[in-house]
Structure 1
Amino acid sequence: MTDMRDVHRIWRVFAFMAVYVVLDLFTGPYAAFLPNGQVWHPAAGLALVFLLLEGNKALLPLLLTIVLAQWLAPFPVENTVNTLLPGLMPVLAYVATAHALRRGLPDGGFFADHRSLLRLTGVIVAGALFGTLLHTGALVAISGNTQILSVDVLIRYWMAEIAGMLIGMPLFYLLCREDSRADFVQAVCKRETLSCALAISVILAGAWLRPDDRILTFYLLFLPLAWAAARQGMAGVIVAAVVLEAGVTTAILLAGWPGPQMPDVQVLLLTLTLAGFLTGVAVDRSRRASAELRQSLRLAAAGEMAGALAHELNQPLTALSAYGSACARLIESNGDDALLRKTVGAMVAESRRASDVLKRLREFFRSGSTALEPLPVARLIAAATAPFVERARLRGVEFVVAPAPEACLLGDRVQLEIVLRNLLSNAFEEVEQASIASPRVVVESGAGDGWAWIRVRDSGSGIPNKIRARLFEPFVSMKASGMGLGLAISRVIIETHGGTLTVEAGTHGILKIRLPLDAGDVETSDDPH
């Protein structure tokens, strides 16, 4: 497993280097020596994504990539050495920008709402200005040419960096993350995307055919951007914005554009793009709210059904427990059979546990109440995994339970056991299929930063991308005979405890529970993944 992760990381590094060099050759600092200067710098957005995803490990590959791009760029001979150090200076700005985004917008919530989008824009604008001052300052210090500090040159470089990060970064970020790539590709692989791209191309062609009215014609570009946002949300407007910038850059490089007007054009394009982003965020939020409402209604119906089932099943389970207790008393009075007494005792214990589970579920769906108590993580895992040890032995499944941390939760023991046993049951059902060559189920856990986590991994075929986004919705199941309620109920229970239940990207099934630790618990054990 570790070797494969290393191979994937090496592949990502080389892919990043190749794409960055190609983008930088056409739109990087070399373009500053062209008559029209830089238009936009998408390589800056790619560098920002690389730093966000890889952290400090990305710094050395990024520096080497920029040096390679500088070496391959067709600079005038007298400028080759003079531009090497200034070309490296914006890396400081990229690192600072990535750090600010990671702290201010954790978990990549760049487009969660309008506030996050505006915060992203503000950080990028400030980071681009910082990089511009570093780059031009280094150029002046090395060459002694103070004309580089002219307002026009500074604004051009600044606008190019802003456009590269604000427009390029969202596209690269969604494509590089495994948990968002499939959904993004599915969202944009539609005829609306091609129609928007065609509309943008027609408007740009009209702008170049009517040079006197170019600026006015550019305002028409908001129509396809708004259409993409309304039809496809942020995914559509991100692609439309990239097509827009790429079209303008291509037209400038091929047909030429008067340099002094470029800052005005870029400001207009950025304003239109930001308006499209704001519209896309509003559309996505509306769709999420509608989907959450539908899910709540379906879960409410499932809760009523589960409550009714719990009520109906509780009576026969109580009778079963009573009959088992009577059998135990008869055994004691008529002769002691150790094996029979043990079997009857296990039957009574399991019937009481089942009755307790149903009682807690009925109370939970009726009032949402939980019986909170200090609960060690190790004890929770031991209780939930115990019934599966014998099952693993009989079915030939390798069942691995990693050592649990000495951390304590504040939760409802019965409800949390229900969730963990449900995840384990699903994992065992997946690996017990005949097509799985080496059936394996692994339970890992740890604690740190005020949270405990429990991960259940199996060696099954994994969760299809088309189901992953809807996995926790009621009545969505990967099994032909499944009702699709187990994971939905499990997620509600975990969220009621203030935690999260998520599916992690991978070739096999990986589900992770995160729960807050009990106050005062300081045990730390970093998540290796």
Structure 2
Amino acid sequence: MLNFKKIAIALVFSCLFFAVDKLSYIYPIGDLNITPWNPPAALEVLFLFWAGNSWMTWVYLTLGLSDSLVRGTLFLSPAVVLGNAVLVTCYAAIALTLRWTLAGRTALRNRHDVFLLGAVILCGALFTAMAYVGTQTWIGVLSTHDFLGAVHRFFIGDLLGLMVLLPLFFVAADKRRHMQYLQMFRSVLFWVLMLGLAICLWLIFSLPIEDQMKYFFSLFFVLGLIAATYSLPGATLVAALIQLPLVFSATRVGVQPADLMDMQIVMLSLSLTGLIIGTVVDERLRTEERLRDSLQLVAAGELAGSLAHELHQPMSALSAYAESALMLTELQKEKMTDAQQTQLVTMLRNVVNEALRATDIVRGLRSYFISGASSLQDTSVTHLVDECVARFAHKAAKADVALVTVYTHHEDHVLVDRVQISTALGNLLKNAIDASPSGAQVTVRVNADEKQMLSIRVIDQGTLLDADAADQVFRPFYSKKKDGLGLGLSVSRSLVENNGGVLRYQAHPEKCFQILLPLGDCVDE
């Protein structure tokens, strides 16, 4: 079945490719794709990253048609047929590597992602340059004397095109950064800095080509200010905008390829500087965000500690009253039938048990929020899970959701705070039931995971979390529920981590929240 959306985007890609290829076809070596600036390479990588390598044929045909329209070369000439096949294969390999290294995410979230992107671009551009120029040399289009010079020019052109456009795409495509862009465009300071950048560019490119290099340092100053103020969104946007006057300047009479190559190398250094500064500032902003989350959690902990102190006495009184009611029932049993007596005793005993359990929870959470203390004890995971599932059986039945437990583990005992882990697991079960449609199933699967960890997965059949929600679901006060406080998962993760474990969300192979707890051998270490 045809995907008309993809076809429409593919047509837009081809039209954009023709326009950009025409604009950047400056000082080529022969009629080949060897120019000092090659942004079409980034367009090919981005399209294949988004559409998948099944669209390599479309990219190949687009590249061949562009050669005919822009360069006037024959579509079926050996240089075009073999050269374009090499290019498309290399760019598809870069796109595939990016999908693998970034796990399919169209976002740069930390310095590790930025480093991986830079490494893939550097290695991919160098390999592509050597493969393409080597192919043209092998079929006789280029002489062996021109090999190194052609590789150098092709490498710089591809590297600059990829290094400018790919970070811009990955930052702009991140939904979490849309608010950053909105705040940046609304800022008066941003437009003042952009005006300063425009003045610098006008002054530099109005000079003779031999004098332009002397004043490029001013661009580093302006770009550094924008990157330090607006992090990656500002740095990547400005790095791309600076390329436009460079292209128009290169078309002027008297500009030599060697001068243009020097300018491109400076521009590459400029883009890398902005990317590094933006990444450092971005890390600082994320650290501040985590600090705010921690402070919010501390405030919630103080509130919880205060509530625990206030609730401790009423819970103790409730338990005492229930015990007294049981004693009175014994005295009045001759006035009731056996069935009535059994039912009343059972109900009162449940009240006593739940009151005692609530008291333990309040006491345990109070100790945790005040001092972070844990009362570690040898605990049967099977018994703990069964107990939690039994507590939520009534809620699941009312929601028409089936609760299922699956045990495939051998080592059943872990050293944890029973109250804390039970509270965390209870939160997960409650959320899973709330997220499941009527007639669905919630499965608790326990098995031994890698690295001597015991895995407890709470699997539901609700809607998968989108990328933005998955990133923020453990943040304090983040909730999409109408009456939710947004503290359940945040507190649950803190409780699990306080016991040396891990709580994480997984979308594949099935939607679940997973608790990983250290087994005995791991704890001993």
Query: Do Structure 1 and Structure 2 share a fold, with TM-score over 0.5?
Result: yes
How many Å apart are 1:135 and its aligned residue? Answer: 1.4
Asked if 1:291 corresponds to 2:289, the answer is yes
168-177 or 323-332, which moves further after superposition?
323-332
Tell me how far apart the structure 1 counterparts of residues 389 and 263 of structure 2 sit (CA, whole Å). Answer: 63
Tell me how far apart the structure 2 counterparts of residues 158 and 421 of structure 1 sit (CA, whole Å). Answer: 56
8 Å contact from structure 1 (residues 317, 351) kept in 2? yes
Asked if 1:21 corresponds to 2:53, the answer is no
The amino acid of 1:515's aligned partner reads: I
The amino acid of 1:499's aligned partner reads: V
Secondary structure of 1:516 counterpart = strand
Tell me how far apart the structure 1 counterparts of residues 267 and 261 of structure 2 sit (CA, whole Å). Answer: 10
8 Å contact from structure 2 (residues 396, 402) kept in 1? no
Report what 1:499 is aligned to.
502
How many Å apart are 1:386 and its aligned residue? Answer: 4.7
* RMSD value, Cα: 4.5
Secondary structure of 2:515 counterpart = strand
Report what 1:71 is aligned to.
64
Tell me how far apart the structure 2 counterparts of residues 230 and 457 of structure 1 sit (CA, whole Å). Answer: 44
Q: Against the structure 1 CA distance between its residues 41 and 406, is the aligned structure 2 distance closer, same or farther, given a 3 Å change threshold?
A: farther
> Which of residues 160, 176, 200 is equivalent to 1:203?
200
Tell me how far apart the structure 1 counterparts of residues 391 and 50 of structure 2 sit (CA, whole Å). Answer: 39
143-152 or 204-213, which moves further after superposition?
143-152
How many Å apart are 1:352 and its aligned residue? Answer: 2.4
Unaligned runs of 5+ in 1: 1-5, 432-437, 505-509, 522-529
8 Å contact from structure 2 (residues 227, 235) kept in 1? yes
| CA displacement 1:32-80 (0-9 Å, x = unmatched) | 68558534444544555566678xxx2222x123213223312423365
8 Å contact from structure 2 (residues 180, 233) kept in 1? yes
Secondary structure of 2:513 counterpart = strand
- Tell me how many residue pairs correspond in the alignment: 493
> Which of residues 53, 59, 83 is equivalent to 1:59?
53
Report what 2:350 is aligned to.
346
How many Å apart are 1:474 and its aligned residue? Answer: 4.2
Unaligned runs of 5+ in 2: none
Secondary structure of 2:401 counterpart = strand
Report what 1:133 is aligned to.
130
Secondary structure of 1:150 counterpart = helix
How many Å apart are 1:133 and its aligned residue? Answer: 0.8
Tell me how far apart the structure 2 counterparts of residues 379 and 91 of structure 1 sit (CA, whole Å). Answer: 58
How many Å apart are 1:511 and its aligned residue? Answer: 8.8
> Which of residues 403, 418, 424 is equivalent to 2:423?
418
Matches within 5 A, 1:101-500: 112-113=110-111, 117-118=114-115, 120-146=117-143, 149-176=146-173, 180=176, 182-183=178-179, 185-186=181-182, 188-191=184-187, 194-212=191-209, 213-249=211-247, 251-252=249-250, 257-331=255-329, 334=333, 336=338, 337-370=341-374, 371=376, 383-384=387-388, 386-391=390-395, 394=398, 397=399, 399=401, 406=408, 412-422=417-427, 425=430, 443=442, 453-454=457-458, 472-474=474-476, 484-496=486-498, 497-500=500-503
The amino acid of 2:515's aligned partner reads: L
Tell me how far apart the structure 2 counterparts of residues 184 and 13 of structure 1 sit (CA, whole Å). Answer: 29
Tell me how far apart the structure 2 counterparts of residues 53 and 403 of structure 1 sit (CA, whole Å). Answer: 39
Q: Against the structure 1 CA distance between its residues 77 and 160, is the aligned structure 2 distance closer, same or farther, given a 3 Å change threshold?
A: closer
Tell me how far apart the structure 2 counterparts of residues 306 and 282 of structure 1 sit (CA, whole Å). Answer: 36
Q: Against the structure 1 CA distance between its residues 449 and 215, is the aligned structure 2 distance closer, same or farther, given a 3 Å change threshold?
A: farther
The amino acid of 1:219's aligned partner reads: F
Tell me how far apart the structure 1 counterparts of residues 372 and 131 of structure 2 sit (CA, whole Å). Answer: 56
How many Å apart are 1:512 and its aligned residue? Answer: 5.6
161-170 or 247-256, which moves further after superposition?
247-256
Q: Against the structure 1 CA distance between its residues 198 and 362, is the aligned structure 2 distance closer, same or farther, given a 3 Å change threshold?
A: same
Q: Against the structure 1 CA distance between its residues 95 and 134, is the aligned structure 2 distance closer, same or farther, given a 3 Å change threshold?
A: same
Q: Against the structure 1 CA distance between its residues 80 and 392, is the aligned structure 2 distance closer, same or farther, given a 3 Å change threshold?
A: same
Report what 1:435 is aligned to.
none
The amino acid of 2:349's aligned partner reads: G
Tell me how far apart the structure 2 counterparts of residues 375 and 11 of structure 1 sit (CA, whole Å). Answer: 55
8 Å contact from structure 2 (residues 231, 278) kept in 1? yes
Tell me how far apart the structure 2 counterparts of residues 515 and 29 of structure 1 sit (CA, whole Å). Answer: 55
Q: Against the structure 1 CA distance between its residues 33 and 459, is the aligned structure 2 distance closer, same or farther, given a 3 Å change threshold?
A: closer
Tell me how far apart the structure 1 counterparts of residues 495 and 75 of structure 2 sit (CA, whole Å). Answer: 63
Tell me how far apart the structure 1 counterparts of residues 83 and 22 of structure 2 sit (CA, whole Å). Answer: 9
- Between the aligned residues of both structures, percent identity stands at 26
Report what 1:3 is aligned to.
none
The amino acid of 2:311's aligned partner reads: L
Q: Against the structure 1 CA distance between its residues 390 and 256, is the aligned structure 2 distance closer, same or farther, given a 3 Å change threshold?
A: farther
Report what 1:507 is aligned to.
none
How many Å apart are 1:132 and its aligned residue? Answer: 0.9
Tell me how far apart the structure 2 counterparts of residues 405 and 52 of structure 1 sit (CA, whole Å). Answer: 40
The amino acid of 1:359's aligned partner reads: R
The amino acid of 1:60's aligned partner reads: S
Report what 1:524 is aligned to.
none
TM-score by length of 1: 0.75
Tell me how far apart the structure 2 counterparts of residues 156 and 288 of structure 1 sit (CA, whole Å). Answer: 38
Secondary structure of 1:77 counterpart = coil
